[in-house]
Amino acid sequence: MKRDELVSFLDEYLNISTYSDKSSNGLQVEGKEEIGRIAFSVDATLRTIEQAARRNADMLIVHHGVIWGGLSYIRGIHYRRLKTLFDAGMNLYAAHLPLDAHPEVGNNVQLLKLLDLEPKEPFGEYKGTAIGFLGEFKKTEPIEKIVQILAERLNTTVKTYEFGKKEIRTIGAVSGAGAFALEEAHRKGIDLFITGEFGHADYLTAVDLGISVAVAGHYKTETLGIKALMEVVKEKFGIDAIFIEEPTGL
């Protein structure tokens, strides 16, 4: 298929122009015009790009690209990543906040669906736009049960901080580095906040707010959207697609 046809679809489907983002969303690096195989991954690392090239991908679609507000210098690791893309003639497409916030394939909708929840309303305002979602169980569920389901379905270890309720009705999900939404979660009376990573200051904020938090890993919580997007692209275009795992354990 034509690269530009795919890029136009992705731009519109992910509504990339809506978001004020550090990431330069969309086609970051231009390569071949004809696309026969697409690789999907969370991060555009050198190893991911090299794997995609070895597997004859004409485009790599990721959550975390290589351009975050512009590049000052093309040297070091930036040079090596870009040179590998250029040598392979590979296109690079990135969708950061648009893939967190998407109402169908987004990381946070998919996190709720792991718990068999439908998104109730947007949540987690970032630069004026909500990028997370809220969900609600029909009856309260013990936090241990929720965390076990999350751990099993993500195939990871989930760390919990039970500073608030242990019987959970409402869930707020913001994948990756989502702890900025802790105070909003508290204001909205959310029983359990799910995110990807949790730092020292986040811990202290959660303690002071008295809110329970489940931390499932930045990488693992952000595999969901890119995998869901891959299925949409495969179904719509009937194109060969592969997913490249590069877990960090974080």
Asked, for residue 230, whether it belongs to a domain, the answer is no
**One-character DSSP codes across 121-146:** EEEEEETTEEEEEEEEEEEEEEHHHH
Q: What is the DSSP letter of 41?
A: E
d(CA 241, CA 230): 7
Asked, for residue 236, whether it belongs to a domain, the answer is no
pLDDT average, residue stretch 30-56: 98
Asked, for residue 57, whether it belongs to a domain, the answer is yes
* Residues 69-107 pLDDT 10s: 878 899 999 999 999 999 999 999 999 999 999 999 999
Q: What is the DSSP letter of 69?
A: S
Q: Could you tell me the residue range of the domain that residue 198 belongs to?
A: 100-218
d(CA 169, CA 190): 8
Asked, for residue 141, whether it belongs to a domain, the answer is yes
Asked, for residue 127, whether it belongs to a domain, the answer is yes
Using 50, 70 and 90 to split pLDDT, how confident is the model at 158?
A: very high
Domain boundary pick from 95, 112, 133: 95
Domain boundary pick from 95, 127, 151: 95
Does 62 lie in the same domain as 168?
A: no
pTM beyond 0.95: the answer is yes
Does 167 lie in the same domain as 116?
A: yes
CATH number at residue 152: 3.40.1390.30
Using 50, 70 and 90 to split pLDDT, how confident is the model at 250?
A: very high
Token code pair at residue 31: 């390569």
Q: Are 185 and 191 in contact (CB under 8 A)?
A: no
Asked, for residue 188, whether it belongs to a domain, the answer is yes
Does 77 lie in the same domain as 104?
A: no
1: helix, strand or coil: coil
Q: At 209, which helix (H) or strand (E)?
A: helix 200-209
Domain boundary pick from 51, 80, 95: 95
Q: What is the DSSP letter of 67?
A: -
